[in-house]
A and B are shown apart, each in its own frame.
Chain A
Amino acid sequence: MKFGVVVFPGSNCDYDAYMAIKHVLNQPVEYLWHADGDLKGSDCIILPGGFSYGDYLRAGAIARFAPVLKKVVDFASGGGAVLGICNGFQILLEVGLLPGAMLRNRNLRFVHRDVYLRCDNTNTLFTGALEEGAVLRMPVSHGEGNYFATAEQLEEIEKKGQVVFRYVNAQGIQAEGSNPNGSVQDIAGICNDRGNVVGLMPHPDRAIEALLGSTDGRAMFESVVMAIEGQTCEA
């Protein structure tokens, strides 16, 4: 299968995602320039982290008008696998592929540290290789990761099990101090109701090699390879 990593002006984790896929997972991967509007036959689209268009107006607000995003929306609507990491998650919210919106971190600080996540939904294209309740460690790195949804949206999201990851402590329990940004109900990542579109603030692309401190991010990429190729990927 082939991965496509979208590159916007201001993306700065495009190469992290590219490296993770090509050199750690040994899967074919290509960059997709935002202005081209061509997915180049990709089976899975990654919207990487960064500051697309300088985060002008609101994070992700301008990126959603890029020609490539129209293709990504069509691809996702047809059941295609789309993963939004950090700024990519913000873009998925702005374009309406995922419900909710992002606010500034509660303490107004840019937060860059490792967090623990609990997987609360293994029924997505990006979490199938995980066990329900699995605790992963990976870094966050953002100023606007305070996930917000209206009361009606939250009820719907929870009812449909669309919360994929929550911030927890090392024991997998939601606890004071585990949530780095003040997101509602400790939400770190969500999916659409079909489970083919997933967005999360933490960086699985930066938790891919022991040298980086964690390999817990690999499972998300391995999950989508398994889901699409129906086999274990040889890392």
Chain B
Amino acid sequence: MATSSKHTATVTVRYKDGVLDPQGVTIHRALTDLGLNGIRQVRTGRTFELELEPDATRETVERACRALLANPVIESFDIEMDT
């Protein structure tokens, strides 16, 4: 079976603790209204799938996060590299 040669990174950007997430609050309320009472809190975020050039490193992705993908005032980011 051929293996994929794609070099990828998955970036998750989410609001920092203490930053109000109105969408998360509203979604949580909707879940509660549906009778799903086991969920204490919902925080929303956003995922970016990056397909990288072969020589790109985690540092490349970190630079992308700091420069654009996340706003450091309100958001934090996690990077998951494929290798």
Q: Measuring CB to CB, which residues of chain A are less than 8 angstroms from any residue of chain B? A: 57-58, 61, 65, 94, 100-101, 103-108, 146, 148-150, 153, 182
Contacts and interface: CB of A to CB of B under 8 A. Distances in A.
Interface in B10-57: 19-20, 22-23, 26
Contacts of A146: 20, 22
Interface of B: 19-20, 22-23, 26, 68-69, 71, 73-74
B26 A108 contact: yes
A105 B22 CA distance: 8
Chain A binding surface, main DSSP class: loop
Nearest to A148: B74
19 contacts: A57-B68, A57-B69, A61-B68, A61-B71, A94-B71, A101-B74, A103-B19, A103-B22, A104-B22, A104-B23, A106-B20, A107-B22, A108-B22, A108-B26, A148-B19, A148-B20, A148-B74, A149-B73, A150-B73
B20 to A, nearest CB: 6
Nearest to A104: B22
A104 B21 CA distance: 8
A108 B24 CA distance: 11
A26 B55 CA distance: 57
A101 B71 contact: yes
A57 to B, nearest CB: 7
A92 B22 CA distance: 23
A108 B20 CA distance: 12
Contacts of A101: 71, 73-74
- Residue of A65, A107, A150, A182 with most chain B CB atoms under a 10 A cut-off: A150
Contact of A108 (B23, B68, B71): B23
Given A104-B23, A146-B22, 5 more contacts: A61-B68, A101-B74, A106-B20, A106-B22, A148-B73
Contacts of B26: 108
B73 to A, nearest CB: 4
A101 B71 CA distance: 8
A51 B59 CA distance: 31
A64 B2 CA distance: 42
B74 A103 contact: yes
Contacts of B19: 103, 148
Contacts of B73: 100-101, 148-150, 153
